[in-house]
Amino acid sequence: MATAGNNLSAFEPKKLTNCAGFRIGIVVSEWHQNITDQLLEGALQVLDTIGHSKDLRQIIRVPGAFELPFGAQQLCKKHNIDGVLAIGVVIQGETRHFDFVCNGATNGLMEVMLKYDKPIGYCLLTDNNEQQSIDRSGGIHGNKGIEAMVAVLKMLQNKQNDTH
């Protein structure tokens, strides 16, 4: 496991100082809400730490992980958004449903990102059990919401630097 024994959620706010003005959309799955709310809290913590205005944030909720691409697309299409963070959880079950949802969400998010030329942070936990998701949403492996939001901001910085 890539994060075994590692908490990768530490970040350097001073490296994100020019990010406070980006318009950020966040699409959050309602499925496993106890976990997705913790991931959202981590993402918002990053934005608060860098002095990001709440007026520059748009948060929408969708039923589950499979609906994340549509939610991300709506944010890109209908709102003046620079980048999006997609937050969801899919826990392995006894059927192949896990595979279909994970693949659909992943491929859909990538398609939306490339279609709209806007970074979409991937905060879709795909774990074997609920404890693994808890460990990655503020537990022993940190908070993947923090890591994914930092990734969105870094990609926005890269995009901004490419246009200057």
Residues 87-112 have pLDDT tens digits of 999 999 888 888 899 999 999 999 99
What per-residue confidence (pLDDT) applies to 76? 95
According to DSSP, the β-strands at 83-91 and 137-139 are: unpaired
- Say yes or no to pLDDT of 131 above 70: yes
Cα–Cα distances (Å) from 70 to 56, 61, 137, 141, in that order, read: 21, 11, 23, 29
Give the tokens for residue 114.
């490339």
- What's the rounded Cα separation, in Å, for the pair 37 and 137? 9
Residues 3-24 have pLDDT tens digits of 555 555 677 788 887 889 999 9
To which residue do tokens 């589950």 refer? 64
How many percent of the chain have pLDDT more than 90? 74
Helices (H), 117-143: 130-135
pTM comes to 0.91
- What's the rounded Cα separation, in Å, for the pair 24 and 1? 30
- 32 catalytic per annotation: no
CATH class of the region 20-163: alpha beta
Catalytic-role residue among 32, 52, 97, 141? 97
